[in-house]
Structures are given as structure tokens and as C-alpha cells.
Amino acid sequence: MNFKAFTLSIAAALTLCLTGCSPQDAAPKQTTASKPSSPYEAVSSQGKGFTVGAMMSAHTVYVLFDPQCPHCGHLWEASIPLQKKVKFVWIPVAIINASSTAQGAALLAAANPTELMAAHEKSILAGTGGIAASASIAPEVAQTIKANTQLFTSLALESVPFITAKNLRTGQAVTRTGAMTTPALAEFLGVDLL
């Protein structure tokens, strides 16, 4: 392998590493007796989150995210211009640290999750840790986040954000791990930016 090819392969590997957050300690993989036939079906039928964007849209995008993940913050920012056309369901998981569960619970319980998520992600991207959240979590909300995290694990995912949707142009289920720009997200989802 020549030096240029070696350098390009290292750069590609680093780019992949920088696009998503992974759990600090790998959770044991779990299997289920009857797995849905695709990640899209699993997430759309089992994930529980909060909805933002075009509430009446038939086009739904599901995002598994950890509230402590800055890459998830970048994806949130990239999704804002598309929220007039697409319904996003943000599904919190807790894979990074103890704050993940409390912040995910606060977002799930928020009267206006769009406003709270915007403030939270602004804080995460500024490096200030996100919203303050109570460690006292209603048992049903804690169970929701636990179930979402188990779903993440059962899909053998390694990082967040994890996005799944049906491409509007092709009708095909698509999945991707990692943040992306608004134009790339629009292309991935099959929607026009304008």
C-alpha cells in the first residue's frame, strides 16, 4: 500500500469515528425471539419518543439519540430546516453517562419538547452539558428510556444518532448512523430543501 492510499484510508476511518457517539462500555448484545424484519420496522413499532416537525406528515423519520451526544446535537440542527416537511420522532436512549437518562426523561415529559430540545442541544454544542434535569424520574418514563436503550442494543448498533425512515422518493427503508448536513439529510430522506 502506498503512502497516499494509507493516508486516505486513515482519514476515512477517522471520519467514520467522528460522526457518532458510542457507549463508553459496550453493553452485552441481546437477542429477541421474534425480530422485526428491518431496523425501520423495529424502531417505528417499538421506539418511544417525542415528535417534532410536520405533525400531519405521513413521512416519519425516527432518530435514536443520546441526550449527551454532540453528534446528535449536530443532527438536530441539520433537521430544523426540514421540520416543516417531515415529522421527526426523537427517541432517547441512555448509553453515554448518567445524565443521559435524566435529560431524556425531561425531554419526554416536556410540555414543549421542540423548545426544550433546541435549548438542550444548544447547550450540548456549546460544551455546557445540556439542560438541568431532575434525577427523580417517573418510573414509566424511566422504563421507556430503558426499553429504548434495549432496542438500540438489540439492533446491534454501535453509535448514535441512528436514523431510519422511508425515503420519500424511493419508498425504501433507509438507515444511517451519524450526523449529517441538512443537504445530506434531505437527500437521505428523499425530500427537497426548498
Instruction: Note the pLDDT of residue 21.
Output: 74
Domains of the chain, residue spans = 30-189
User: pLDDT tens digit string along 82-128?
Assistant: 999 999 999 999 999 989 999 999 999 999 999 999 999 999 999 99
- For residue 189, pLDDT over 50 is answered with yes
The domain made up of 30-189 has a fold known as: Glutaredoxin (3.40.30)
Residue 174 has pLDDT above 60, yes or no: yes
pLDDT value of position 35: 53
User: Quick one: three-class SS letters along the chain?
Assistant: CCHHHHHHHHHHHHHHHCCCECCCCCCCCCCCCCCCCCHHHHHHHHCCCEEEECCCCCCEEEEEECCCCHHHHHHHHHHHHHCCCCEEEEEECCCCCHHHHHHHHHHHHCCCHHHHHHHHHHHHHCCCCCCCCCCCCCHHHHHHHHHHHHHHHHCCCCCECEEEEECCCCCCEEEEECCCCHHHHHHHHCCCCC
Least confident of 38-42, 122-126, 132-136, 182-186: 132-136
Task: pLDDT band for 15, please (50, 70, 90 cuts).
Answer: very low
pLDDT at residue 33, as a whole number: 45
Q: What is the pLDDT of residue 22?
A: 61
Q: Is the confidence at residue 141, as pLDDT, over 90?
A: yes
Asked if residue 29 has pLDDT above 50, the reply is: no
Taking only the tens place, the pLDDT of each residue in 32-57 is: 445 557 999 999 999 999 999 999 98
Counting residues of the chain whose pLDDT is more than 70, the rounded percentage is 81
Q: Does pTM surpass 0.85?
A: no
